[in-house]
Structure 1
Amino acid sequence: MTRKTKILLIEDEASLAEVIKEYLTASGYDVITAHDGTSGVDLARREEPALILLDLMLPDLPGEEVCTAIRKWSRVPIIMLTAKSQEEDLLNGLGLGADDYVTKPFSPRQLVARIAALLRRSSEDPTLLSNRMSYQNGDLVIDTLAREIWKSGDKVSLTPNEYKILLALACYPRKVFTRGELIEIALGSDYDGFDRGIDSHIKNIRQKIESDSKAPQYIRTVHGIGYRFGGDVD
């Protein structure tokens, strides 16, 4: 018997949660629900879902705080469900570690498509140069077999999209990527976000792998174009 993909839905509006659960269940997913942020964090840790749908307007904790809490120990893909439509609000959510967002109101069919796309992106890697890439005398190590990143001997936790973006850059170290190209190769052609969302992901990666995020040596900005990888292979 094939094991169903488990999705955690954190949504306080009971009627909406029920509609989403019924639609996702009919689409073949195993759905567990939480109606507040505290329960959501507990379920995320206990159930280890393949993906989390996270409402930002929760009764006890803001969704942003829930996302931050989960990101301290998990790289699980997170899609924000939000009534906020302003670009800065959405970019802030991405900056906290969310992978995608869907603005309310949305169609269940649209949500299922976004879930399938994110799960697919999270399970597929770009073409790899090797199974273990080391830079600057071991300062940064990318272990693609274990899907682990190490900085100065310490393990670094990246979200699925952050991991994909870093791999894309590292796999083509001499190439200068535009934001659109990074979206295509790392996030997929069905990514439906702002181009500037890439900037939020890049900022997060730099904070985790650079000794000085304001003077990065690994992810370099090419002004007017985009980004390129700057590490020297050992």
Structure 2
Amino acid sequence: MTKILVIEDDPILGEMLTLYLAEEQFDVIRVESAGQGFRALVEFKPEVIILDLMLPDADGPALCTVFREKTTVPIIVTSMKNTVADRIQAISLGADDYLTKPYSVQELKVRIQAVLRRISVSQADSETSVPPSLDRIALNTERRTIVLEGNIIETTFSEYEMMKLFTQYPGRVFSREELLNSVRGIDSFVNERAIDVHITNLRRKIEKNPKEPQHIKTVWGIGYKFLK
């Protein structure tokens, strides 16, 4: 039974989410503050986090960064803010998906299934194939991290999935839409501009000079490709 941690201080919404997810055969607990959420990470060990960005003890997109520093599990953010800029900011700070309030619990279930499906595929790949290895860059499939010249580089869920795709098909040009669908699933909507944010973050992590990238190249008018 998949463990879902709901961090939501609204009692009505929180209770509704808890009941619905439990009925859908998830093992779910709800907490009402960031502090309680951090403790639940250790005690409950969730597989997906539903994170409200306005909590009594902390609020704002920076919450994504704090939670991402403490865990690599997928984070689905919920917020009243609905602009593309808000979505991109949350994703750039560590979120893997973004839902604008009010949202349907059925849509939330679909988003959860999408990130879980990606994890399942990734685990199957790691069990049946040798992790791709490059001169400077390799992937640690067990820890879901990048190994850069022997050093472990932590990634978000989406960054790792994108890097895995790149290393499986070096030299292939991917459009933003292809990257979005491959990394996040066609049933999970985030503006394609989010791909540019992921690329920027990956370049900061793996390139010697992110402004003059040698590995993740822009193909103008199309998308991106990865070179060894």
TM-score, scaled to structure 1: 0.89
Query: Does the 8 Å CA contact 2:144/2:155 hold for their aligned counterparts?
Result: no
2:106 to 109, 113, 119: 109
Task: State the distance in 2 between where 1:67 and 1:196 align.
Answer: 18
Runs ≥4 residues deviating over 6 A: 126-129
**What residue in structure 2 maps to residue 142 of structure 1?**
139
2:11 counterpart (11, 14, 28): 14
Letter of the 1:180 counterpart: E
SS of alignment partner, residue 70 of structure 1? helix
RMSD value, Cα? 1.9
Amino acid across the alignment from 1:106: Y
Report the counterpart of residue 133 of structure 1 in structure 2. Answer: 132
Using the TM superposition, name which of 25-34 and 185-194 deviates more.
185-194
- 1:64 paired residue number: 61
CA contact (8 A) 2:87 2:190 kept: no
Match of 2:212 in 1: 215
Mark the CA change 1:184 to 1:65 in structure 2 (over 3 Å): closer, same or farther. closer
Select the residue among 199, 203, 212 that pairs with 1:202: 199
Would the alpha carbon gap of residues 52 and 204 (structure 1) be closer, same or farther in structure 2, given more than 3 Å must change? same
| Equivalent position of 1:168 in the other structure | 165
Q: Which residue pairs with 2:153 in the alignment?
A: 156
Write the mapping of 1:36-51 to structure 2, written as runs, cut at 5 A.
36-51=33-48
- Whole-Å Cα distance in 2 between the matches of residues 205 and 16 of structure 1? 35
| Counterpart contact for 1:56–1:82, Cα < 8 Å | yes
3-state SS of paired residue (1:190): coil
Deviation digits for residues 157-210 of structure 1, max 9, x if unmatched?
112211111111111112111001112222222221111111111122222222
CA separation in 1, counterparts of 2:216 and 2:42? 31
Distance 1:187 1:9 in 2: 20
Pair 1:86-2:83 in alignment: yes
Give the AA of the match of 2:89: N
Is contact 1:77–1:122 with CA below 8 Å preserved after alignment?
A: no
CA distance in 2, matches of 1:91, 1:56: 14
Equivalent in 95, 103, 124 of residue 121 of structure 2: 124
In the TM superposition, residue 14 of structure 1 has moved relative to its aligned partner by 1.0
Q: Compute the TM-score of the two structures, normalised by the length of structure 2.
A: 0.92
SS in 1 for 2:214: coil
Q: Residues of 2 paired with 1:209 and 1:72: CA distance?
A: 18
**TM-fit CA distance, 1:127:** 6.8
**Are positions 1:100 and 2:94 aligned together?**
no
Aligned residues: 226
8 Å CA contact 1:131–1:145 kept in 2: the answer is: no
Runs of 5+ unmatched residues, structure 2: none
Identity value in percent = 40
Give me the whole-angstrom Cα distance separating, in 2, the residues matched to 1:134 and 1:15. Answer: 49
2:224 corresponds in structure 1 to 227
Q: Helix, strand or coil for the counterpart of 1:121? A: helix
- Whether 2:30 is the aligned partner of 1:23: answer no
Q: Which amino acid aligns with 2:100?
A: T
SS of residue paired to 2:94: coil
